Every structure is written in structure tokens, then in C-alpha cells.
Amino acid sequence: MSEYLAKMEKRGFEELVLLHDARTGLKGAIAIHSTARGSALGGTRMWTYTSEEEAVEDVMCLACGMSYKAAAAELPLGGGKGVIIGDPHQDKCEDLFNCYGRYVEKLNGRFITAADMGIAEPDLDCIRKETGHVIGGSEIGSPSPFTAYGVWRGIKACAEEVYGSPSLAGKVVAVQGVGSVGRALCGHLAEEGAHLLISDLDQGKLKQAVKQFGATAVDPDQIIYRECDIFSPCGAGGVINAETVPHLKSNIVAGAANNVIKDNGYEKALHERGILCAPDYIINAGGLIFVEMRRQGEKDDQKVRDLVSGIEGRLKAILKRSRELNLLPGEVADIFAEERLGRR
């Protein structure tokens, strides 16, 4: 307990709830990082964590990222996250999601949840049976296309910074993960004329994307090491770490994954190798913008897309300030977000 309280104090967390229900087999956690700007909005993830400690560490990192993401996007939201420990392919059942919904309801609106890895729209519909503090499901559709659109616009900002032009025509882009976001991103990249290297643990998704986009399939364990112009992680976080940093063969790291850098020190290591890393919570904020606009009643997709397109300009401003202040882009992004959280 003291270990978790120390982590909460160090990172400025408001609340951490551990979940357990013997009848349904539910195990998980909900973390609320900040409600300074409004209710903490964040998706719920279902994942096969190797330990309960890993799950709690993940939910805390993700919740903190959501606070910064909402603040940097200047949305009236705080940051939170939920995780359910389990295999999303085998362990799902209506009773489990109903039970999780009751835990969300007990937080009295301090936490509003949505979809994340391993959670589909029908799962949210089950959660909604027990709480009104959920956004998504069949009523609004998927945020994934908007996340992908924002990442594509952010990649263009990075390309302009590194290559002098936002055009991605002819660029080799390695997309790690072709789930709902990664696949939608591939569509934008292919349409612009990029050459795609793609990987995914799900062979069905991989084969489908290869056929649709004329992409080259790469083994999931090898894609991060392939030579390319842009490496775009769109799956689990932590892929930029001590093992991978020395072997990256790209000039840009920019994708949809949350917490793509396992530790802040690795961004400096990338910088020393001449590799630009886009701050993840800046570039992947499109889905959150979509969810919040739907929550506010905005139904016009083009208006939402126009707001999401602002990610390109926001990232360009951060990269410019990074050069001027001789700081890493991640450091500048943190300053930007913390100013809006009232922590500076």
C-alpha cells in the first residue's frame, strides 16, 4: 500500500481504485490522475498482464498521459484510465462488464470511461447498463478513425521538421500494429503514396491489411529494427526502451501508441542518435477530441475532423519551441500541458 501511495504522491494522483469481484472474476484498477479541468475521461483497457503490479503501473501511466493529453488539447477534461486483467479474446462476458460498470458508477462522475485496447463498442454497451458515466458504444461509433487522422497529420508535421516537407509520398513507414487505429492510419499513408511495412500479432488482420494497402508484412519482433523513414508504433506502449533504442533505423518515431517511451531518458537517447520522437499524447489526441465533442453533442464529423487537424499545427509549434529552447519535444509538451493543468 505504501508503495502505491508514494507513487500517487510523486505523480500527483488523486485516486487509485483496485477492483476485485470473485463471482465474475473481475480484477483490475481505475486511476484518476487529475480532475483539475473537469471529470477524468479515459478508456478502459482489457489486457493479459503478466502480474497485477504490471496492470497497476500501466493504468497509472495511462491515466497521467490522459491528463496531459486533455490539457494539451485544451479540452475541459481531467485524466483517468481503467484496466481489466484478462484475455480479451477469451475472458469477456456480460456479467464482468456489468460489474465493472458498477465500479465506475461508484465514482459518481469523477471518471468517465470509453473504449481502449481489448474493449469493443458492444462491451461499452454492457458497461452502460450499470452507469451513465461512459461514452462510446453503438451510440457514437468508434474514435479510432479520428485518432488515426490526427496521427497522420502529426506525422506530416514531423516529416516537415526532419525532411523539410510534409509530403509522405515515397517515404517508407513501418506501422507496428494494424488494429482499428493502425489500419485506418495505413489508409491515409497509402493514399498519400507512402510505402508501408506492417506487423501485427493477429495474422488475419495482417493479411487483410497487406491485401488492402499493398503493404509488406514484417515479423512483429523485427519491425522496429527495419530500416525506414518513419517508425509508427500503434499497439502496446513501452516499445522505445533500452533494448530497441540502439537498433532503430528510422529518422522519426510517431504513432498512436500511448506511453511509447518506456522511460523519459530514452527520448534523450533517441535525440542523440538524431531521431525525432513525437510526444505521444500530442499526436494521438484525435480520439479523445472526438469523444469529447460527441459528449458535448457535436454530431458533424467534419467539424470534429477540423478540430483534430489542429494536432499538426500544435505539434509544429512544440517542435519549433523545442529548437528555440534547446529542449526535447517531450519536455516542451510537458511544459505545455502542465501550464494548462495549473502545475507551473
- What mean pLDDT is predicted for residues 228-251? 93
What is the reported pLDDT for 293? Answer: 93
Q: How confident is the model at residue 284 (pLDDT cuts 50, 70, 90)?
A: very high
- The angle that helices 144-163 and 180-192 make with each other, rounded to 10 degrees, is 50
Beta-carbon count within 10 A of 191 CB = 11
Residue type, 215: A
58 and 33 share a domain? yes
Q: What percent of the chain shows pLDDT beyond 70?
A: 99
Residue type, 128: R
- The upper half-sphere exposure of residue 187, i.e. CA atoms within 13 Å in the direction of its Cβ, equals 14
Q: Is residue 299 part of a domain?
A: no
Q: How confident is the model at residue 81 (pLDDT cuts 50, 70, 90)?
A: very high
What is the reported pLDDT for 1? Answer: 62
185 and 324 share a domain? yes
102 and 60 share a domain? yes
- What mean pLDDT is predicted for residues 262-266? 81
- What mean pLDDT is predicted for residues 5-24? 92
What is the reported pLDDT for 60? Answer: 94
Domain coverage including residue 95: 2-67+77-139
Cell of 102: 458498477
Beta strand pairing call for 26-34 and 15-21? antiparallel
Given phi > 0 = left and psi -120 to 50 = alpha, else beta, which region is 253?
Answer: beta
What is the reported pLDDT for 104? Answer: 98
Q: Is residue 315 part of a domain?
A: yes
Q: What is the pLDDT of residues 185-215, one digit of tens each?
A: 999 999 999 999 999 999 999 999 999 999 9
Catalytic residue annotation: 81
Q: What is the pLDDT of residues 22-75, one digit of tens each?
A: 999 999 999 999 999 999 999 999 999 999 999 999 999 999 999 999 999 999
Through-space distance between the first and last CA atoms of the chain, rounded to whole angstroms: 29
Question: Cell numbers 522505445 label which residue?
Answer: 240
CATH (domain of 41): 3.40.50.10860
Q: Is residue 267 part of a domain?
A: yes
212 and 247 share a domain? yes
Q: What is the pLDDT of residues 126-178, one digit of tens each?
A: 999 999 999 877 777 788 999 999 999 999 999 999 999 999 999 999 999 99
How many domains does the chain contain in total? 2
Planar angle of CA 173, 66, 329, nearest 5 degrees: 50
What is the reported pLDDT for 344? Answer: 63
204 and 266 share a domain? yes
Q: Is residue 291 part of a domain?
A: no
Residue type, 256: A
Least confident of 90-94, 247-251, 291-295: 291-295
Q: Is residue 302 part of a domain?
A: no
126 and 238 share a domain? no
132 and 152 share a domain? no
CATH (domain of 200): 3.40.50.720
Nearest to 67 by CA among 341, 324, 270, 263: 341
127 and 196 share a domain? no
Max mean pLDDT among 48-52, 164-168, 256-260, 298-302 falls in 164-168
148 and 133 share a domain? no
What is the reported pLDDT for 343? Answer: 72
154 and 119 share a domain? no
134 and 214 share a domain? no
- Rounded distance, CA 32 to CA 210, Å? 39
- Rounded distance, CA 69 to CA 286, Å? 10
122 and 206 share a domain? no
Strand intervals (E) in 74-212? 78-85, 111-115, 172-176, 195-199
CB-count exposure of residue 216 (10 Å: 0-12, 13-18, 19+): middle
- Rounded distance, CA 185 to CA 234, Å? 9
- Rounded distance, CA 105 to CA 38, Å? 17
- What mean pLDDT is predicted for residues 215-240? 93
Q: Is residue 212 part of a domain?
A: yes
What is the reported pLDDT for 141? Answer: 76
